[in-house]
Amino acid sequence: MTNPLLTPFKLPPFSKIQLKHIMPAITEILKDCKLTVKKVSSKEINHSWSNVVEPIDEINDRLNRIFSPINHLNLVKNNPELREIHEKVYLLISEYNTWLKQNKSLYKSYLSLKEQKNYSLLNNTQKKHLENILKDFKLSGINLEQDKRNRYREIIDRLSQLQLMYSNNLLDSTMAWEKLINNKEELSGINENILFSIYRNEKNSSQGNWILKLDFPIYYSIITYCDNRELRKEIHLAYSTRASDQGPNANKWDNTNIIDEQLYLRYELAKLLGFKSFAEKKLFEETAKEPQKVMDFLEVLLRSIDKKVNKEIVQLRNFVKKQYNVDKLHAWDFAYYSQKQKQYIYNFNDEQLRPYFPETRVLSGLFKLINRIYGINIVQRNHIDSYHPDIKFFDVFDEQEELIGGFYLDLYSRKNKCSGAWMDICTNKMRKNGKIQKPIAYIVCNFTAPDKNKIALFTHNEVITLFHEFGHCLHHILTSIEIPAISGINGIPLDIIEFPSQFMENWCWEPDLILLISGHYETNDPIPSDILYKKLQSKNYQTSLFILRQLEFSLFDLTLHYKFHPEKNKNVLEILKKIRRRISIIPYINQDRLPHSFSHIFSGGYAARYYSYLWANVLACDAYSVFKKNGIFNPEIGRSFLNNILRLGGSEDFMTMFKRFLGREPNIEALLQQYGIEINEK
């Protein structure tokens, strides 16, 4: 029987993929990969770009095309059987990648290209690709002695296993918790859309009419809007102790030992390669270059917000005391009373905007924005093969009406779908056999599902999330680079990868853009001017506290990987508590286990680099200031950003591209202005 994963396809044949197809497909493609490596590494061939680089690029692209839908399904349609196969496949691919990067013969083949006279004939994009390849070999221990190379390989394989274990524990512990509510009064304050999404069918009403789970939209709604303080406390305890030795499911899916082992192995790995710390190793590949430079940046930002942080927390405490006679704010009170204060100050509730952001209007306005600034047209394609009825697919066309790529849109929370929001690669742009393979992306969110009338209404925060992920998507699809490893979002330093996504968020606060993306779902009336004014006025509400929270994450992550030592500075929770004692003013419960659910750094690839969100946001605000000055729909500025940033992927040094667009070095002032922090407060 034909294996759909091994049959050439432009879009994944999701409906045809069965569990039995996965392992045979991966086994066969990995066999082909190794045969290709053996062939191009042969001393009998004349090493050139076309018979070394291109064959490896093409076979690795085939591998990625086959694995991509498998990995995607594991994230959006998770089940025990698929997870088990995915783990095996993931580890096989990890082993292959390590083997590839430690293959001496292949390394010599690439190195010979650099040393040949014909090297000067390569274009700059090819040279950048070759430079990256050789650097990856070195960072994979290619020059180590054999016993150390073997140890490197063992560490990488084990780290891959630990990251999967961490992720699975977090998913299982999140899905396991639930609470049945019979009395609707216990859910006082919760929006009807959320209540509908958690309502049980009448046939199950004997077990409770509403079922609470730890999916983020539900957790956020309870912790922010629910008047029931005890319920807020209960769900906060469950959420903040996931996958740990604390809370309602203590020790069932505990990530403690997994975290400790990862830190030990990361430290050992860095030492093997000659670095003082894992942070030093990771930042060697980033624009920041050195851990201390990042520490200095974070400390500057911390000092910049200090005055506004203290002002905001005093105002909140005074408000809560005066209006509710509450003397002490607990961890489960902070979001709730912040929302109450925000509503009091601005006489406005975020839920008032929800009816004005129906999915169709938001998407239509977003696509109009992209057309106006980049000249890009986006058109929905119907009748595509998919894995769920809610999934949509869109084709992307350039100004000459040429198809240049596409993306899947998977917006809504559902059972067995991982929480959060992300963009991922389906296929990369690539030229092979004279034809261009189009870049395809996945955009995945976990918004509140459509109501009983199948109408999907977004909050403004969800709109911002959509714009964020769409920024990643555009970075991937609009690329002009035809080498997969440096096209789109590939080959980009991680501390820059969030730049185009955070850049897109800025439009969500512009009145003219809001008019494009909004309209009442029943009447199409615009948002009333007084409500819109209040929303815009609330933009900088508690912005310094938001930055402080990001600084807490960033300092914890960097300190953990910069200062960790197997004999000292190894207590993860103590490191976190020390940072919180120094900078945090938000209350935490003793059972809080942030590290156990901090998937960005223990299973998501951001280890030692969580600072990237703040680092990239400085660049995003600085770049957006050019639009702010010259018009937010300015097509000339849009084309400049497209040509100098989005189209070039990882083909050039990023700061060179950025300065070419901006005309100067970046600075922190635009970010402070965006967040309502006076420059002289630094």
Helix (H) / strand (E) containing 443: strand 440-447
Q: Is the per-residue pLDDT at 554 higher than 80?
A: yes
pLDDT for res 203:
44
For residue 109, is pLDDT > 90? yes
Residues 6+ apart with CB under 8 A from 589: 236, 237, 240, 330, 331
Confidence grade of residue 450 (pLDDT, cut at 50, 70, 90): confident
- Cβ atoms of 373 and 635 within 8 Å: the answer is yes
CA distance 114 to 127: 8
Segment 486-506 mean pLDDT: 96
Burial call 262-292: b when 16+ CB within 10 Å, e when fewer: bbebbbebbebbebebbbbbbbbbbbbeebe
Quick check: 346 pLDDT over 50? yes
With tokens 């070394």, the residue in question is: 52
462 is catalytic: no
Q: How confident is the model at residue 208 (pLDDT cuts 50, 70, 90)?
A: low
Backbone angles phi and psi of 211, in degrees to 5: -120, 120
Q: Give the number of other Cβ atoms within 10 Å of residue 294's Cβ.
A: 25
Q: Which residues pair with 396 in a beta bridge?
A: 378, 405
Tokens of residue 182, six digits: 């019979």
Residue range 574-590: mean pLDDT, rounded: 93
- Candidate list 351, 462, 469, 505, residue with the active-site label: 469
- Per-residue pLDDT averaged across 159-172, rounded? 95
- How many angstroms separate the CA atoms of 580 and 637, rounded? 42
Q: What value does the mean pLDDT take over residues 208-219? A: 88
Say if residues 68 and 12 touch (Cβ distance below 8 Å).
yes
H helix count then E strand count, the chain: 25, 9
Three-state DSSP class for residue 349: coil
Place of tokens 């190793």: 281
pLDDT of residue 477: 98
Confidence at residue 680, expressed as pLDDT on a 0 to 100 scale: 53
Give the rounded percent of residues in the chain with a pLDDT score beyond 90.
88
Q: Are 425 and 68 in contact (CB under 8 A)?
A: yes
How far apart, in Å, do the first and last CA atoms of the chain sit?
67
Per residue in 353-362, pLDDT (tens digit) is 999 999 999 9
H/E stretch holding 446? strand 440-447
Give me the residues paired with residue 213 across strands. 178
Question: 552: part of which helix (H) or strand (E)?
Answer: helix 543-563
Convert the pLDDT of each residue in 140-164 to its tens digit: 999 999 999 999 999 999 999 999 9
Residues 6+ apart with CB under 8 A from 649: 475, 479, 481, 486, 487, 488, 489, 490, 491, 492
How many angstroms separate the CA atoms of 64 and 57, rounded? 10
Residue 394 contacts residue 458 (beta carbons within 8 Å): no
Tell me the mean pLDDT in the region 516-541.
Answer: 96
Q: How many CA atoms lie within 13 A of 186 on its CB side?
A: 16
pLDDT tier at 567, thresholds 50, 70, 90: confident
Determine the pLDDT at residue 202: 44
| Model-wide pTM > 0.85 | yes
Mean pLDDT score, 488-513: 97
pLDDT of residue 189: 94
Mean of all residue pLDDT scores within the chain: 94
Domains, the chain, ordered by start:
14-143 (1.20.1050.40)
1: pLDDT strictly greater than 80:
no
Q: Which helix (DSSP H) or strand (DSSP E) does residue 462 occupy?
A: helix 460-477
Task: Please give the average per-residue pLDDT across 252-264, as a whole number.
Answer: 97
Q: Per-residue pLDDT averaged across 486-499, rounded?
A: 96
Within the chain, what is the greatest distance between any pair of CA atoms? 83
Q: What secondary structure, in 3-state letters, does 354-421 show?
A: HHHCEHHHHHHHHHHHHHHHHCCEEEEECCCCCCCCCCEEEEEECCCCCEEEEEEEEEECCCCCCCCC
Separation CA 671–CA 418 (nearest Å):
31
Helix (H, G, I), strand (E, B) or coil at 422: strand
Cα-atom radius of gyration of the chain, to the nearest Å? 25
Residue 676, by phi and psi: left (phi above 0), alpha (psi -120 to 50) or beta? left
Q: Is 228 strand, coil or helix?
A: coil
Angstrom distance (rounded) from CA 467 to CA 458 = 12
Q: Which pair of tokens denotes residue 426? A: 């389906």
